[in-house]
Amino acid sequence: MKRRPSGTWAPLPPPRYQAWEEASRGADLSQPLPYRPGDSYQVGQVIEHPRFGVGIVQGRKGHVLYVVFPDDTRRLVTGREK
């Protein structure tokens, strides 16, 4: 039996380093805000995570931030009480 394509197709995401290059272009990385799960952040802010390093907030959905770091894009929790 011959396999048929599913009908869905999406382009491959950009390489990880390219996402960081695009996000960091023009951003001031010299004074990042420290990341704390209880704080709130806006798209475009530069933060510093204790484990992942400096990253740039690319998106937000509810209590989840999408942050681009030099090695990967990660989801971080934000704006929750401890």
2-17 pLDDT tens trace: 666 565 665 666 666 7
Query: Which pLDDT tens digit goes with each residue over 25-78?
Result: 999 999 999 999 999 999 999 999 999 999 999 999 889 999 999 999 999 998
pTM for the complete prediction? 0.77
**Would you say residue 33 lies in a domain?**
yes
Residue 7: inside a domain, yes or no? no
In terms of residue numbers, what domain contains 54? 16-77
Select from 63, 77, 82, 66 the least CA-distant residue to 19.
66
- pLDDT of 82 over the 80 cut: no
Domain assignment of residue 1, yes or no: no
Question: End-to-end alpha-carbon separation of the chain, Å?
Answer: 56
Structural domain count of the chain: 1
CB neighbours of 17 closer than 8 A, spacing ≥ 6? Answer: 70
pLDDT for 19:
85
Question: Does residue 2 lie within any of the structural domains?
Answer: no
